[in-house]
Amino acid sequence: MSVVSDRLPAFPWDRLEPYKATAAAHPDGIVDLSVGTPVDPVPEAVQKALTGAADSPGYPTVWGTPELRDAIVGWAGRRLGARGVTHRHVLPVVGSKELVAWLPTQLGLGPGDRVAFPRLAYPTYEVGARLARAGHVAYDDPTELDPAGLKLLWLNSPSNPTGRVLSKEELTRTVAWAREHGVLVLSDECYLELGWDADPVSVLHPDVNGGSHDGIVSVHSLSKRSNLAGYRAAFLAGDPAVLGPLLQVRKHGGMMTPAPSQAAAAAALGDDEHVRVQRERYAARRAALRRALTGHGFRIEHSEAGLYLWATRDESCWDTVAHLADRGVLVAPGDFYGPAGERFVRVAVTATDERVRAAVDRLTA
């Protein structure tokens, strides 16, 4: 049996190719709203930091430079309200997707262990469990899970794909439940700085964790808030009892963020102004697409944060994908994120202003 068929699901995006071809045949070209890849320029200060570190002939450290760790610590206090975070509480990683996919393996999970994640979720949570040959379970309410064998609980707020934001009360209750049952909480907060109709809260906030980082780790990425998807710059923050051993594993595996990317990440984390500017771009695109979609007969659910609109016409998601592809607009079918999404599509707001205007024109024609 092949590795793919034995351990991994089929790669879902391959199923979208025929619809992409249909959308690309539109006389004015495709408007690709199926993926959340940034399209706007990398901030100038970040580019300068990258080029300034270009002469880096030696190996970078897995733990990151002291300057990068200082930047992460400062950002966590300033933006997350975290208290007591030191260098021991942080760890750079080579993009958050790599971390999500390989964390169960790096933590030593395997057969007999279980990984839990939201019922509507980024598919890499399941992939990570499968790569470790651990079990996996999807939940609606994590505090209703059977804790037997459960070693890792993924939270995702703001959510990909739905944009749902967990309240401070929900986070507090979940952290308390996980601690009671000895379950490690990993909170994927990569969209945390992109709240629109809600103000997302981190598990590192003392109102959530009671001033203790025990048993909790948050995941953050610079891909969305700083347009650094191509730099593969992300990091963890939280329990040093988890991050210390994980650092040793990653040292053995040679999992090093390139030195120029580390310098760029430090610059990005030290500058809040470019995030404000980028938020304004996304807010305008989101508002335009939301109006066009609702005017076209869609209903938007959740979507109070993040870079996606979770939209439905109360039909099969593939019928919706086909309907929009005929108009030259490509979106992601909701069942990519679990069976519960079978009547929704995920619409990214990361296209250029010109392409967003084209989508709006086609939806309102």
Under DSSP, the state recorded for 58 is: S
Domain identity same for 79 and 224: yes
Strands (E), the chain: 31-32, 90-93, 114-118, 135-139, 150-156, 184-188, 216-221, 234-238, 299-301, 308-312, 329-330, 332-333, 345-348
CATH number reported for the structural domain that contains residue 279 in this entry:
3.90.1150.10
pLDDT digits (tens, 9 = 90+) for 68-80: 999 999 999 999 9
Please indicate, yes or no, whether residues 25 and 69 belong to a single structural domain of this protein.
no
**Cα–Cα distance measured from residue 1 to residue 127, given in angstroms and rounded to the nearest whole number:** 18
- Check pLDDT > 60 for residue 4: no
User: Which residue has better confidence, 216 or 10?
Assistant: 216
Q: Indicate if 13 and 93 belong to the same structural domain.
A: no
| pLDDT tens string 299-336 | 999 999 999 999 999 999 999 999 999 999 999 999 99
Q: Assess whether 301 and 226 both reside in one domain.
A: no
Residue 309 shares a structural domain with residue 265: no
Q: At what angle do helices 353-364 and 273-295 cross, to 10 degrees?
A: 10
2 falls in which pLDDT band (50, 70, 90)? Answer: very low
Stretch 147-162: mean pLDDT, rounded?
98
Inter-axis angle of helices 240-252 and 96-106, to 10 degrees?
90
The predicted-structure confidence for 24-37, as pLDDT tens digits, reads as follows: 999 999 999 999 99
DSSP 195: B
356 and 307 belong to one structural domain:
yes
pLDDT at 203: 98
- 137: CB partners within 8 A, 6+ apart: 114, 115, 116, 145, 150
- For residue range 350-360, what is the model confidence (pLDDT) as tens digits? 999 999 999 99
Which tens digits make up the pLDDT trace of 240-287? 999 999 999 999 999 999 999 999 999 999 999 999 999 999 999 999
Structure tokens, 129: 């469990």
Q: Are residues 114 and 36 in the same domain?
A: no
Instruction: Pull the structure tokens for residue 136.
Output: 């996996």
Determine the pLDDT at residue 3.
47
β-strand partners of 31: 329
Last residue of one domain, picked from the residues 242, 271, 300? 271
Whether the pLDDT of residue 98 is over 80: the answer is yes
Q: How far apart are CA 316 and CA 343, in angstroms?
A: 5
- Mean pLDDT, rounded, for 223-229: 96
**Residue 45 pLDDT grade (very low, low, confident, very high; cuts 50, 70, 90):** very high
**Residue 166 binned pLDDT confidence (cut-offs 50, 70, 90):** very high
Domain boundary among 232, 249, 271: 271
Identify which has the larger pLDDT, 365 or 1: 365
Tally the domains of the chain: 2
The pLDDT score that the predictor gives to residue 6 is 63
> Which pLDDT score is estimated for 20?
97
Question: Is 33 contained in some domain?
Answer: yes
pLDDT band at 9 (very low <50, low <70, confident <90, very high): confident
- Asked if residue 1 has pLDDT above 60, the reply is no
CB-CB contact of 108 with 243 (8 Å): no
- Asked whether the predicted pLDDT for residue 7 surpasses 90, the reply is no
For residues 10 and 196, the model is more confident at 196
Sheet holding 135-139, edge to edge: 90-93, 234-238, 216-221, 184-188, 150-156, 114-118, 135-139
Q: Which domain holds residue 202?
A: 57-271
Check whether 5 has a pLDDT greater than 70: no
Is the predicted pLDDT of residue 340 greater than 70, yes or no?
yes
